[in-house]
């Protein structure tokens, strides 16, 4: 009787083990649609214009934004992506703007989306300046001329217009580029202005939004050693407290650390040695870096990681 019960227990344990093994082999994907649609307090959008008297004029508090008019008006906007989980697998991303009125587009109109390459503020940005007292490198905004997305408009149109920005969102989340937002423009053709509602619009449901679909995976793999988190210290950097350099620790083997100005230009590149990299807080030319907020990106075969460092002199 004892041997029989012992055999039953062994068989039961084997069955439980098999069920758990099968469960862990299967990957469970959970699809989710995430909408980012901020109001006036957290939004970052405006349009810029080179019309008569508009070069230095800011439109960040207006309820509508214009694009077109012989490419004299361009639209700029940026969304905070921090609400997207770090393990999200992006399947699609759409930028959606609502037309401020009904239009009859004849002939066809095409609005292009570009990736902005420098920092700007929505309540200060103009055709000439990205922030107060700081000009764009190029009038009309600094952006990558490669087209991220395009939308053709023809015939009667009203309501929502959308652009596929999946590639751009993936690149931002992977740390390939710094998220400075989108710039929308037309080619220089004889056209009128197309007006869209901004995040300042009274109707909350019709404000600009980013609709992202992603999946998260629950897998039961063999446990892997957990790499320690990358640390940056001292941060903030204060020479008045005796700080002489900034150290990046727990770096993956072969990693490089790129330091960026908030405008997006590279200041210095560091190489990993024995799991760390040290920065003397100077640029590639040997000049001391002034006070301010700077960005860094750790690049390695294991992926990219971005962060911020503050310098207070």
Separation CA 203–CA 222 (nearest Å): 50
Tell which of 193, 218, 243 closes a domain: 218
Same-domain check for residues 71 and 190? yes
Same-domain check for residues 44 and 164? yes
Number of domains in the chain: 2
> Taking the model in full, what pTM does it have?
0.65
Q: CA nearest 83: which of 116, 42, 115, 124?
A: 42
Three-class DSSP labels, the chain: CHHHHHHHHHHHHHHHHHHHHHHHHCCEEEEEEEEECCCCCCCEEEEEECCCCCCCCCCCCCCEEEEECCCCEEEEEECCCCCCCCCCEEEEEEEEEEECCCEEEEEEEEEEEEEECCCCCCCCCCCCEEECCEECCCCCCCECCCCCEEEEEEEEECCEEEEECHHHHHHHHHCCCCCCCEEEECCCCCCCEEEEECCCCCCHHHCCEEEEEEEEEECCCCCCCCCCCCEEECCCECHHHCCCCEEEECCCCCCEEEEEECCCCEEEEEECECCEEEECCECCCCCECCCEEEEEEEEECCEEEEEEEEECC
Q: CA nearest 230: which of 142, 146, 147, 305?
A: 305
Q: Is residue 197 part of a domain?
A: yes
Same-domain check for residues 237 and 181? no
Same-domain check for residues 169 and 245? no
Q: Is residue 19 part of a domain?
A: no
**pLDDT tens-digit map of 208-260:** 999 999 998 655 555 555 567 889 999 999 999 999 999 999 999 999 999 99
Same-domain check for residues 101 and 214? yes
Separation CA 299–CA 175 (nearest Å): 9
Contact 264, 180 (CB under 8 A): yes
Q: Determine the pLDDT at residue 24.
A: 43
Q: Determine the pLDDT at residue 5.
A: 46
Same-domain check for residues 87 and 208? yes
Separation CA 72–CA 33 (nearest Å): 35
17: pLDDT confidence band, cut at 50, 70 and 90? very low
Same-domain check for residues 242 and 117? no
23: pLDDT confidence band, cut at 50, 70 and 90? very low
Q: CA nearest 111: which of 182, 166, 181, 52?
A: 182
Separation CA 208–CA 195 (nearest Å): 12
Provide CB contacts within 8 A for 90, sequence distance 6+.
84, 166, 169, 170, 173, 212, 213, 214
Find the domain containing 249 and state its range.
231-311
306: pLDDT confidence band, cut at 50, 70 and 90? confident
Same-domain check for residues 182 and 210? yes
Same-domain check for residues 270 and 151? no
Same-domain check for residues 168 and 39? yes
The CATH number of the domain where 291 resides is what? 2.60.40.3080
Give mean pLDDT, residues 156-165. Answer: 94
Q: Is the pLDDT of residue 8 over 60?
A: no
Q: Is residue 3 part of a domain?
A: no
Q: Is the pLDDT of residue 9 over 80?
A: no
Same-domain check for residues 40 and 169? yes
264: pLDDT confidence band, cut at 50, 70 and 90? confident
Same-domain check for residues 168 and 305? no
């Amino acid at each position: 009787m004892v041997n029989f019960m012992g055999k039953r227990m062994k068989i039961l344990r084997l069955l439980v083990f098999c069920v758990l093994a099968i469960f862990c082999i299967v990957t469970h994907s959970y699809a989710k649609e995430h909408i980012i649609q901020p109001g006036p307090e957290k939004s970052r959008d405006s349009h810029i214009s080179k019309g008569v008297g508009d070069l230095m004029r800011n439109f960040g508090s207006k309820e509508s934004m214009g694009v077109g008019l012989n490419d004299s008006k361009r639209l700029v906007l940026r969304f905070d992506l921090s609400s997207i989980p770090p393990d999200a697998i992006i399947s699609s991303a759409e930028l959606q703007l609502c037309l401020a009125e009904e239009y009859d587009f004849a002939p066809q109109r095409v609005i292009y989306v570009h990736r902005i390459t420098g920092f700007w503020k929505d309540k200060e940005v103009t055709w000439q300046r990205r922030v107060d007292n700081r000009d764009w490198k190029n009038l009309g905004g600094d952006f990558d001329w490669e087209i991220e997305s395009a939308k053709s408009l023809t015939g009667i149109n009203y309501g929502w217009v959308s652009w596929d920005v999946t590639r751009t969102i993936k690149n931002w989340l992977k740390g390939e580029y710094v998220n400075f937002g989108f710039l929308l423009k037309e080619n220089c053709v004889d056209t009128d202005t197309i007006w869209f509602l901004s995040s300042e619009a009274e109707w909350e449901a019709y404000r600009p939004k980013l609709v992202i679909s992603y999946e998260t995976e629950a897998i039961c793999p063999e446990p892997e050693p957990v790499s320690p988190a990358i640390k940056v210290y001292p941060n903030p950097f204060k020479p008045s407290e005796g700080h002489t350099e900034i150290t990046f620790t727990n770096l993956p083997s072969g990693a490089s650390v790129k330091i960026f100005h908030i405008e997006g230009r590279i200041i210095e590149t560091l190489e990993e040695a024995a799991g760390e990299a040290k920065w003397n807080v100077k640029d590639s030319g040997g000049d001391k870096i002034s006070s301010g907020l700077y960005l860094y990106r750790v690049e390695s075969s294991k992926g990219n990681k971005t962060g911020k460092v503050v310098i207070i002199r």
